Amino acid sequence: MTQPSVELVVDARCGTGESPVWSIEEQALYWVDIPGRSLHRWSSEGHAQWATAEMPACIAPRAGRPGEWLAGMESGLFALSGCGAAGGTPLQADRVAGVTHARTGMRFNDGRCDRQGRFWAGTMLMDMAAAARVGVLYRQDDATTTPTAVLDGLIVPNGLGFSPDGRTMYLSDSHPSVQTVWAFDYDPDSGTPSTRRVFVDMNPLPGRPDGAAVDADGCYWICGNDAGLVHRFTPQGRLDRSVPVPVSKPAMCAFGGPQLDTLFVTSIRPGGDLSDQPLAGGVFAFRAGTHGLPEPPFGG
């Protein structure tokens, strides 16, 4: 299969560009820069960004609240509001729910909503070299409850995704000592995952499993961090495609565009000599040859 043409959308130079979400209503892409403490927006009108009080790691739009986002940050989940068209002003952050971390120096990482609008997000110790299994996967049912700890023992939880019918949940751990993607049977009524099993062992494959997206065919797209690739796996866990991008650290992908047939990819801008990848930290896009699904908003 001919490789698609990958284009630079925004030379954002994010430290860690994460959690891209396409807004169908606005025809705009939102994402965050974790160490940059900022929320970003791109559309035909241009690129805007807003400062956040803590490091944001994952976002989801809030149902019935235009312009408001639920964000997993450092100390908990927050409602972010104040996204004006021009950007530049700090966002208002109202705490929805706090969490008690196992250690200091932790924050939220990857997260998204299931098909019913529950928000799922994992936590991690920011010192990845410690390889501490203190990360927890939480489920936030609505804005009136406290987060439910569903799974622990994670180092760098990542790759959250849900099958089109909402009955399979995917989760990865991108730490170099793990590099595994799991699949779970998922009860959409109760929001309970079960029957954890290895979906893909990425240790023999190029790249660590980072952020992911699921297309309308049920295939699982995941960024191969450190390898400059975006992989697509079939629902059976077979590697179907690998698309190269012009940076070594793609971070997370999301479907967008008028037909939801464009895959947007955020990336990380590491330190050191970047002469071979000057666009690191940018947002890229390519035609995926398939369609995605609308991202469910947080229903709480």
Of the candidates 40, 1, 47, 2, the residue with the CA atom closest to the CA atom of residue 18: 40
Q: What angle do CA 244, 285, 34 make, to 5 degrees?
A: 90
Which helix (H) or strand (E) is 107 found in, with range?
strand 106-113
- Half-sphere exposure of residue 261, counting CA atoms within 13 Å on the CB side? 6
Q: Which residues, 6+ apart, have CB-to-CB distance to 232 below 8 Å?
A: 215, 219, 220, 221, 239, 240, 241, 242, 243
3-state secondary structure of 263: strand
Cα-only R_g, the chain: 17
Q: Which residues, 6+ apart, have CB-to-CB distance to 278 below 8 Å?
A: none
Given 165, 210, 217, 226, which residue is catalytic?
210
Let me know if 110 is a catalytic residue: no
Report the C-alpha gap between 204 and 196 in whole angstroms.
Answer: 21
Q: Is 150 left (phi over 0), alpha (psi -120 to 50) or beta?
A: alpha
- Which residue numbers are catalytic? 210
